[in-house]
Homo-oligomer: A and B are copies of this chain.
C-alpha cells in the first residue's frame, strides 16, 4: 500500500499531506485524460484501477490485512480527490462501490474467515466487489431476491431473483446481496461470481457510463452457510443501515470533488466568455453565481465530512446526519452543475465537456441512495423521534 510521502499513521496525524491531494493528482494524470472517450464508448478500462489499486482499492482495510488503514475521514478525502482529479463520476462510483460499499460490511460484520478471505485480495485490487444500488436504501424498494434454506442435510441457502443496477458487476469477483425470507426477515450474503446459478448480465443505466454496470440473475443459486454476512435474518439491524449510510456519505465524496472542478471550470469559462462586449465575469450577477457555487462546495463539505468522521469515533454514526449530508449535496451538485453550465455557454455542449457528463450523472446521483423520498422521512423520523 503506497500512500505518497506518508505512512498511514502519519496521514492519520495530518503530518504527511492530505489524501485528497494524492488521489487528485494521480487521478488527474491517469484517469482524466480518457474520461470523455470512455464515457462516449461506455467503456471500463481495467488498467486504470490496476495502476491506482495501491491508492484506491483498500483504504479502509486494516493494515494487518494488507489495506491502507486510513480512517473514514481520510478515505472520504481520498474519494473527494478522486472525483476532482478524474473528472469521472462513473469511474469514481465503481471505485467507491468496491472500496467502501462492498468492503466495509465485510470488515464490520464478517467472520474472521470472511475477513481473511476477502479483505486482502480486495485491498490489492485482485478481487473487486460489487453492490446493487437498489439495495443501498434498506428495503425501501421491494426486495427482488428471495432466500430459502437449502434443504435437508445442508445449512446453506438457495437464492432466487434478480438485482438491477449493480455497480461493478461485469468486472466483480463477488457481490454483496441482501435477500428476503418468506417471514419478512432479510439476510446479507457474499456471493462469489463463479457460484452456480448466478448469471451476470451487462445492463445498466444511460448514466455514469464509465462505471461497469450489470444485473444479477439468481436462479436456484445455492450458497453455503459461510456466505452469510452477519446474523441470518439480521440485515435490517446490521448490513442495511450500514450500507445506506455508506452510500449516502461515501458515494457523495467524489461529487464534492466534481463540484470543485466544475466551479473552477466555471470561473475560467466566465473569464473567457464575452457578453455585451465584456468578460462575463464583469457582470455582477455572474460574480454572485460564482460566489454561490463556491459556497455550496464548502457547505456540502462540512456536512459530508462530519458524517464521514462519525464512522471513526467508535460509536455508531448518525443516520440523520448521513442522510442530511446526502440531501444537501444532491441539491448542491445540481446547483453547481447548472450554474457552471450556464456560465460555460456553448462550450458545455461539445460532447467532451465535464459539465455535460456531470449534468447527466448528477440527475442519476440524485435518485440513488433512495432520493429525497427516502432521505427526508429518515431525517424527519429521527428529528421527530418517531419509529
List residues of A whose CB falls within 8 A of some B CB: 134, 140-142, 164-165, 205-207, 274-277, 280, 283, 285-286, 334, 338, 341-342, 345-346, 348-351, 356, 359-360, 363-364, 366-367, 371-374, 376-377
Contacts and interface: CB of A to CB of B under 8 A. Distances in A.
Given A140-B275, A206-B351, A360-B359, A367 B338 contact: no
9 contacts: A141-B275, A142-B274, A142-B277, A164-B346, A165-B346, A206-B351, A275-B373, A275-B374, A338-B366
Contacts of A206: 349-351, 356
Nearest to A206: B351
A308 to B, nearest CB: 26
B345 A367 contact: yes
A288 to B, nearest CB: 11
B372 A363 contact: no
A55 to B, nearest CB: 30
A350 B205 contact: yes
A346 B360 contact: no
A207 B205 CA distance: 19
Contacts of A164: 346
A240 to B, nearest CB: 14
Among all A-B residue pairs, the 10 with the closest Cβ atoms = A205-B349, A206-B351, A207-B349, A206-B349, A341-B363, A140-B276, A142-B274, A359-B363, A275-B373, A140-B275
B338 A334 contact: yes
**In this complex, which of A280, A342, A374 has the most chain B Cβ atoms within 10 angstroms of its Cβ?**
A342
A367 B349 CA distance: 10
Contact of A348 (B142, B165, B349, B367): B367
A334 B338 CA distance: 10
A359 B357 CA distance: 12
Given A206-B356, A286-B373, A348-B363, 11 more contacts: A134-B346, A205-B349, A338-B363, A341-B366, A341-B367, A342-B366, A346-B367, A356-B360, A359-B359, A359-B363, A360-B360
Contacts of A351: 205-206
Contacts of A349: 205-207, 364
A371 B342 contact: yes
